[in-house]
Amino acid sequence: MISFLFIARLMNFCKFKFKLRVYCNTFAFLLIYGALFATFSEAKKPNSNDLNSHLLPLLKNPVLKKVSYGISIVSINKNTSLFNYQSDNLFSVASNMKILTTSAALEYLGPDFEYKTRVETHGRMTASNKFLGDIIIRGSGDPNISGRFYDANISSIPESWAHALKNRGIQVITGDIIADDSIFDRIYTNLNWPENQLSEWYCAPSCGLSFNDNCVDITLIPEKKPGSVVTLLVEPDTSYFTIFNTCVYTSNKKEHAYSVYRKPETNQIFIKGKFWINAPPKKTWVTVHNPALYLATVFKEILGKNGIAVHGNARLINADESLKTDLEVIAQTTSSMEQTILVTNKQSQNFYAEQIIKTLGAQIKGSGTLAAGIEVVHDFMTKLGFQPEEYHVDDGCGLSKGNRLSPTMITTILAYMSRHPHGKVLMDSLPTSGTDGGLRRRMIGPHYKNKIHAKTGYIARASALSGYVDTRNDDVLAFSILMNNFKDLCMVRKIQDDICKALVDY
């Protein structure tokens, strides 16, 4: 018979074995659970390569609480979307509109498209060096007839034309100097631009025949003469303007305040206020009314200074006037679309953008109007997959608040242009961080300088920054940051810069 002691020991052994099995199973369970937990935790843990972990904290800034904004970021190399926030919403884009306008120009005209402004003769020469007839300046919509590419000599181009006529032996012109601006319509400014700012350079009118960005340059010169009228340097020196100057010098710095403006629909310029005698020279630019007549008038005056008498008038071509297009060309000035786009984006020149969009209308649709230019832009956007009813284009430069695009639309344009045969022209035209254009004072640190190539944009309560970022791992990102309805411009720009820095580091 088995003793009770043996049975008791057997029972204790079985209990131990059961507990051991339980302990082992429990330990195994804990190992498996721990591994799963670690894996899950690692998936949730912010990663240095996780763009969200870099950007979301920036977007929690209290400044953005009531701001309407959208962001789109895509990888060019990987052709993938990396980050989106309200990226399909429409926003006022300000000068980011120029990205669309210049991209359309590269798509349909290319960088080698040439503007050609011709000086032609309409008449005949006599043996006494008298020209019986008119001189026609035939415009092509070129925005580059200025001193910008001629060592800042505003009158360099019309002076070269005068020398060409003089070299032909012409001493007298019996007829008129006719400005042919008919390639564009004569709707000079957009009805949706701020009416009280039309004297400012950024509201310069568009025209088929333009000169000096359709502005006059006025510099107020300081002198130690309190109470006397301020001395002005006006360029070009022309009778086309009438200047009413009642601005006087003051020795009191606190009184330093003045205004310069042009009376609408006229070329009467008023300068009022007080100018501190110790202030540095102050240069301002005032828009002109009727730009083509402006150039014709300046050209006639230059001819006179070069010994060529003009008996007729400087005037515009009449709507019903038929001038042959096969007349003798005495001089021709040429500029390219590439240099035009460079100025448009680097310097954010609204005037240039408006010239480009009407050029698109004239060359592609046969009508030099804003409406025809917008049709070309619509065609371009349709090619990219967006229908006209999904956005709104109101001008070529972005000055109108009516322009409405989404961040996704802008990054789609940028991605398309990155693969375009002329895409480098667009990228090279964009301001570069810490170097030039609207970004010359932004993101200037050594890690970020020259890494961001982007178009800035600002109108009242709208700020934008869109372009390309070169990342540290040799990727190229296209991004668009559109911000509306903010109160603190400096803060929203700082947030834009911080986002761009995060992209560089991504």
**What pLDDT, on the 0 to 100 scale, is given for residue 324?**
75
pLDDT score of 319: 84
Mean pLDDT within 106-110: 98
Between 8 and 418, residue with greater pLDDT: 418
Residue 20 scores a pLDDT above 70: no
Residue 503: is its pLDDT beyond 70?
A: yes
Average pLDDT (472-478) is: 94
Q: What pLDDT shows up at residue 50?
A: 78
44-75: b (≥16 Cβ within 10 Å) or e: eeeeeeebeebbeebeeeeebeebbbbbbbbb
What single string gives the DSSP state of each residue in 243-266? Answer: EEE--EEES-GGG-EEEEEE-TTS
Would you state the structure tokens that stand for residue 105, as one six-digit string? Answer: 């120009």
454-461: average pLDDT: 96
CA dihedral 204, 205, 206, 209 (to 10 degrees): -100
pLDDT at 385: 98
- List, edge to edge, every strand of the sheet that includes 452-459: 80-85, 68-75, 476-484, 462-470, 452-459
Overall size of the chain counted in residues = 506
Cβ(100)–Cβ(480) below 8 Å: no
pLDDT at residue 45 is higher than 80 = no
Q: Model confidence over 174-219: pLDDT tens digits?
A: 999 999 999 999 999 999 999 999 999 999 999 999 999 999 999 9
The predicted pLDDT at position 322 comes to 75
β-pair type (268-276, 248-250): parallel
Structure tokens at 239: 């009778």
* Rounded alpha-carbon distances, angstroms, from residue 146 to 153, 184, 195, 216: 8, 19, 26, 11
Q: How confident is the model at residue 326 (pLDDT cuts 50, 70, 90)?
A: confident
Q: What tokens appear for 84 in the block? A: 């989106």
Q: For residue 27, what pLDDT band results from cuts at 50, 70 and 90?
A: very low
- 9 — pLDDT class (breaks 50, 70, 90): low
Q: What is the pLDDT of residues 264-291, one digit of tens each?
A: 999 999 999 999 999 999 999 999 999 9
Instruction: Give the model's pLDDT for residue 49.
Output: 52
Single-letter amino acid code for the residue at 86: Q
Q: Tell me the range of 25-29, 325-329, 403-407 where mean pLDDT is highest.
A: 403-407
User: CA 132, CA 171: separation in Å to the nearest integer?
Assistant: 11
pLDDT band at 26 (very low <50, low <70, confident <90, very high): very low
pLDDT > 70: percent of the chain: 90
The structural domains of the chain, ordered by start, are 51-112+338-505 (3.40.710.10), 114-337 (3.50.80.20)
In the predicted model, what is the mean pLDDT of the chain? 91
What's the pLDDT score for residue 37? 39
For 360-380, the pLDDT digits (tens) are 999 999 999 999 999 999 999
pLDDT tens digit sequence for 427-439: 999 999 999 999 9
- Long-range contacts from 492-498, C-beta under 8 angstroms, 24+ separation: 492/63, 492/64, 492/67, 492/69, 492/463, 493/442, 493/463, 493/465, 495/58, 495/59, 495/61, 495/63, 495/64, 496/463, 496/465, 497/442, 497/443, 498/58
Express each pLDDT in 160-177 by its tens digit: 999 999 999 999 999 999
Residue 367 to residues 138, 359, 372, 373, Cα–Cα distance (Å): 16, 9, 6, 8
Residue written as token pair 């019996």: 174
Residue with tokens 């088995």: 2
Q: What is the mean pLDDT of residues 112-138?
A: 96
pLDDT for 431:
98
Alpha-carbon distance of 56 to 65, in angstroms, equals: 13
Q: pTM for this one?
A: 0.89
CA distance 506 to 500: 10
Mean pLDDT of 386-406: 98
